[in-house]
Amino acid sequence: MSKYNMTPSKLIKVLREHGFVFIRQSGSHALFKNDQENKKVVVPIHNKDIPRGTLHAILKDTNITL
């Protein structure tokens, strides 16, 4: 599990560095897609850190290690 605390804006920056592009936003959740790896990920946009379990799942689904 990730031992890092991360805000949504920092996670979005990491996703963009790994080739993910913004597709759309519905309410407080944004959808990003990486066409090269054919992967999609939903990022919760709130005014606090992303919960550890959610962050771990997003990083695992996208094969990103910190």
CATH number at residue 30: 3.30.920.30
Residue 21 resides in a domain? yes
In percent, how much of the chain has pLDDT > 70?
95
Cβ atoms of residues 65 and 3 within 8 Å: no
Residue 37 resides in a domain? yes
Residue 52 resides in a domain? yes
Residue 27 resides in a domain? yes
Could you tell me the pTM of the whole model?
Answer: 0.89
- Taking the CA atoms of residue 4, residue 51, residue 53 and residue 9 in that order, the dihedral angle to the nearest 10 degrees is -60
Residue 56 resides in a domain? yes
Query: What is the extent of the structural domain holding 22?
Result: 8-62
Q: Indicate the number of domains in the chain.
A: 1
pLDDT tens digit string along 3-30?
A: 678 999 999 999 999 999 999 999 999 9
